[in-house]
């Protein structure tokens, strides 16, 4: 999996890293049980501060996407582990979508255009085989 960090972006670096790891899992590039690089090694590879990678890992752990195992590092959680948090995740994701969808509607996109956009994004991330 290749991570692209855009230092000029308005999106914080740790958020970019978090989002790209999540997308890598959604695309199947990272699997349950896979280990992520150590904070120090990942930071060096990406050319970012160790605190950036550490913050990203803690965000992923808080969302239940990875678990941080002392002396073993960060490991992608299993589907079963993530499933235990499904109700909480549904509510959190719904709350994050709401202002973005509201903005799209305020900017003049129709309900159908928003639905088409969401479907398009899902198909881009996880195409039908």
What does the mean pLDDT of the chain come to?
Answer: 92
pLDDT tens by residue, 6-20: 999 999 999 999 999
CA angle, 76 then 80 then 81, to 5°: 55
Identify whether the C-beta of residue 6 lies closer than 8 Å to the C-beta of residue 16: yes
- Say what the pLDDT of residue 129 is: 62
**Per-residue confidence (pLDDT) for residue 61, from 0 to 100:** 94
Whole-structure pTM value: 0.83
Q: In 45-126, which ranges are E strands?
A: 66-69, 73-76
Burial class (CB in 10 A: 0-12, 13-18, 19+), 77: buried
pLDDT, tens digit, 9 for 90 and up, residues 44-88: 999 999 999 999 999 999 998 999 988 888 999 988 877 777 777
């Amino acid at each position: 999996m290749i991570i692209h960090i855009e230092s000029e972006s308005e999106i914080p670096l740790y958020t970019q890293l978090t989002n790209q790891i999540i997308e890598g899992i959604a695309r199947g590039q990272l699997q349950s049980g896979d280990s992520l690089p150590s904070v120090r090694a990942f930071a060096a590879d990406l050319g970012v501060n160790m605190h950036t990678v550490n913050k990203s890992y803690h965000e992923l752990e808080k969302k239940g996407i990875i678990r941080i195992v002392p002396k073993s590092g960060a490991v992608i959680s299993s589907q079963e582990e993530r499933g235990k948090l499904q109700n909480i995740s549904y509510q959190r994701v719904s709350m994050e979508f709401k202002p973005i969808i509201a903005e799209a509607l305020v900017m003049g996109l129709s309900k159908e255009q928003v639905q088409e956009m969401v479907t398009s994004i899902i198909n881009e991330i996880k195409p039908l085989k």
